[in-house]
Homo-oligomer: A and B are copies of this chain.
Amino acid sequence: MHNVILFPPIAANCSNCRWSGFCFAQNLDSVALAEFSRQVIHSGPIRRGNTLFRQGDKLKSLYVIRAGSVRTYLDSEDGCEQSVAFLYPGDLLGFDAVAENRHPTTAVALETTAYCAIPYDRVVALAGKFPGLWHGVIRTAAAQVTAGQNHVLLVGQKSAPARLAKFLLCLSEGFVTRGCSRTEFNLSMSRQEIANYLAVAVETISRLFSDLQRRGVIAVDRRFVQILSLPALQELACDSAQLRTRTA
């Protein structure tokens, strides 16, 4: 334990929060937001490899990333692992635990990460008073369902090059939304973690990065990526689902 370097929980101030537009509290008016804010526990930074919650843990809170990034993943009974999502500031975590009152995934920090925790019973209580909060939760939930569908499509129907291209484009899109560069960014995850998320071997990711660089589509230096040709990347992302599994 490194208590000495952990900041104590501090009072949240959602009305000033840079990410309030992303948070599931986005629909609340200033009065409601102030009350919401009092329930929020700002949680001090955790370092790479530490978890917010583990698969099987009882649901206590919902979480929103404030800084840093997080990977969620699922372990099956027989010991294989599947990365489910990479999360960035403003993203909601842990909602899926509502179904069984236990977290179906583990959430682990990819880098030093700060987050907010809101006890789920407080969310429910507040949502009773401010229905806008229900809408925020519901819309976020629906978005996560959609994201899962697209993940299956990616892994199920696309070739390895298309998967990586689409992955980079999705990251890019996320950074733009957060006011960062569309074409230059640092990956917060390792090749291994990308490989697992895209369901290919690490070596394949390595080769694909090299290919993309060789073809002038991107420039890569370790975790730093520059997209040199967005159109080329988009073409690659669409191209080649060599599987003919159309049902009609």
Contacts and interface: CB of A to CB of B under 8 A. Distances in A.
Contacts of A202: 245
Give 4 nearest A-B pairs by CB, closest first.
Answer: A148-B148, A156-B199, A99-B142, A78-B238
Given A82-B153, A99-B143, A138-B137, A201 B148 contact: no
A139 B99 contact: yes
A96 B195 contact: no
Given A199-B245, A245-B199, A98 B152 contact: no
Residue of A73, A100, A141 ringed by the most chain B CB atoms within 10 A: A141
Interface string A156-187: 11100000000000000000000000000000
Given A82-B152, A82-B153, A96-B149, A201 B141 contact: no
Interface residues of A, number: 60
Interface string A115-157: 0000000001001100100110111011111101111110111
A81 interface: yes
B141 A148 contact: no
B145 A134 contact: no
Contacts of A98: 138-139, 141-142
Contacts of A104: 146, 149
A95 interface: yes
A84 B158 CA distance: 15
A95 B241 CA distance: 28
Q: Which of A128, A157, A192, A243 has most B Cβ within 10 Å?
A: A157
Interface in A192-226: 192-193, 195-196, 199-202
Nearest to A235: B78
Given A98-B139, A199-B243, A149 B82 contact: yes
A145 B99 CA distance: 9
A76 interface: yes
A134 B142 contact: no
Interface string A222-245: 000000000000000011010111
